[in-house]
Chain A
Amino acid sequence: MSAMLDDDRREALRDWIAGRLGSSTLIIDEIRPLSGGSIQENWSVRVRMDGETRGFVLRKDATATIASSLSRAEEFAILEAVHAAGACVPEPVGFCHDDEVLGAPFALMGLVEGVGLGPRIAKDLSLGGDRVGLARRLGQELARIHAIRPPQPALAFLGEPDAQPALARISTLRAKLDALRATRPSLEWGLRWAERHVPRNADSVLTHGDFRTGNYMVDGRGLTAILDWEFSGWGDPLSDLGWFCAECWRFGRSELEAGGIAPRAAFYEGYEGHSGTRIDDAAVRYWEIVAHLRWAVIALEQGHRHVSGAESSLELALTGRLVPDLERAVLRDTSPDRWSATHA
């Protein structure tokens, strides 16, 4: 950003951070781009104030945004809520609504060190500390997030919880398939199965929406931060557990059912211990099937971004091609003997 950030903007950013932290002598030492998702632009900002150096991450919307994700301001409000609830997340420092400072609204958060790349965490056992302990900790963290329940005035933008989160998800996925003009009978088979086998509703809670290996960071000792809150909203708590355990997010370590890092039991144990509730395992497995359906639809959307010419990218193109593998997983779990005789 240094190149894109003229002196006026840099000065405006300095003034804004200085005001936020109440330090008039604050100096910006460095601003540099971080590799980020396609939805956000992330920058590392290092400042000096009162003889001490502090690191922050500045997060701003990139040009290509996904319609279903939250705005940066909403995401920041979620971060404030889960931080207040004691979840292991970057410290929410402030949100700037004023376009004059950087040309677009942005969030400023405390910098957290760690490795977040899913495949690397799954393979490199020097990361994350004891893996059973890490899975247990992630279960506890998820329970802490799920302790936030509607209504929450600060999260009014999330709207009312769906009465039937599973049916709402199925209808969203069908609408996305239709919007893409994608005819995928195997996905439709899975969606129809999911429609007919909805588990008993759990009470709505704040769900992360993308809680999986690859969206948290670890260092050599353990968890350092849970990231990527742009898909959070009211939902069924077990949808987060199913997304975390789904085979598509085990990064080749399919025998380690808790996110490719540990046995499922450790993750459940952490969650149950912190929440004081018993996990409905069959319902989690239902949500794992829905996870494969959801990831398949997202993969189709990503492939479509390349095919439509909206964003030429080998990574997006390849993602589009992994759909049949997900369809195979969906079919494996929805064979005719797994359909109940009566309508759910």
Chain B
Amino acid sequence: MRDDPSGAALLNAARLALTGEVMPALTGRARYVAAMVANAMGIAAREIEQGGGAARTWDRALATAGTATCADLVTAIRAGRHDADPVLYAALAETAAAAAEIWKPPVPAGGA
């Protein structure tokens, strides 16, 4: 049983209030800091919503590589045991994409 609105929904509402109602009145350093706060709230909200999926990409990457821990995978890559390995590459690309989309949501085509 979870109370609504959820933590992520609260963070999103708070972020919109900050960017829509508070930030327009700010200038200089205060505006810059407020933008960073809004950015941090967005990351935290996306992590709550998407963090589970991102964690599963790591489980898949480690299973793909046949290693138990990230540290073992690092050792194997440095030793050259995965040079140009297309299977590991695809798994790593998935982990990076999942984590990067928590950092910044994908921009719709042509919207940059």
Interface residues of A (CB under 8 A from B): 174, 183-186, 188-189, 191-192, 196, 252, 254, 314-315, 317-318, 321-325, 327-328, 331, 335-336, 339
Contacts and interface: CB of A to CB of B under 8 A. Distances in A.
Nearest to B104: A325
Given A192-B80, A318-B36, A186 B86 contact: no
A327 B92 CA distance: 9
Contacts of B40: 314, 317-318
Contacts of B102: 324
Q: Which 10 residue pairs of A and B lie closest in terms of their CB atoms, listed nearest first?
A: A324-B99, A339-B84, A183-B70, A324-B100, A188-B77, A327-B96, A328-B96, A336-B84, A325-B100, A336-B86
Interface of B: 33, 36-37, 39-40, 43, 61, 69-71, 73-74, 77-78, 80, 82-86, 88-89, 92-93, 95-97, 99-100, 102-104, 112
A132 B95 CA distance: 38
Contacts of B95: 185-186, 324
19 contacts: A183-B73, A184-B74, A185-B70, A185-B92, A186-B92, A186-B95, A186-B96, A192-B77, A254-B112, A314-B37, A318-B40, A324-B99, A325-B100, A325-B103, A327-B99, A328-B97, A328-B100, A336-B84, A339-B83
A314 B73 contact: no
A132 to B, nearest CB: 22
Majority DSSP secondary structure for residues of A touching B: helix
Contacts of B33: 314
Contacts of A183: 69-71, 73-74
A284 B91 CA distance: 28
A324 B83 contact: no
A238 B61 CA distance: 34
Given A324-B100, A328-B100, A339-B84, A185 B36 contact: no
Nearest to A322: B103
Contacts of A339: 83-84
A317 B47 CA distance: 15
A185 B77 contact: yes
Contact of A331 (B36, B80, B96): B96
Contacts of A254: 112
B93 A331 contact: yes
A41 to B, nearest CB: 18
A69 B37 CA distance: 30
Contact of A188 (B43, B78, B112): B78
A185 B61 contact: yes
A315 B92 contact: no
A183 B92 CA distance: 13
Nearest to B84: A339
B12 to A, nearest CB: 18
Nearest to B32: A315
Contact of A335 (B36, B80, B82, B89): B89
Contacts of B104: 325
Contacts of A318: 36, 39-40, 43
Contacts of A186: 92, 95-96
Given A185-B77, A331-B93, A339-B84, A315 B103 contact: no
Contact of B92 (A314, A322, A325, A331): A331
A336 B96 contact: no
Contact of B96 (A191, A196, A324): A324
A317 B41 CA distance: 12
A184 B37 CA distance: 26
B78 A192 contact: yes
Contacts of B86: 336
B106 to A, nearest CB: 11
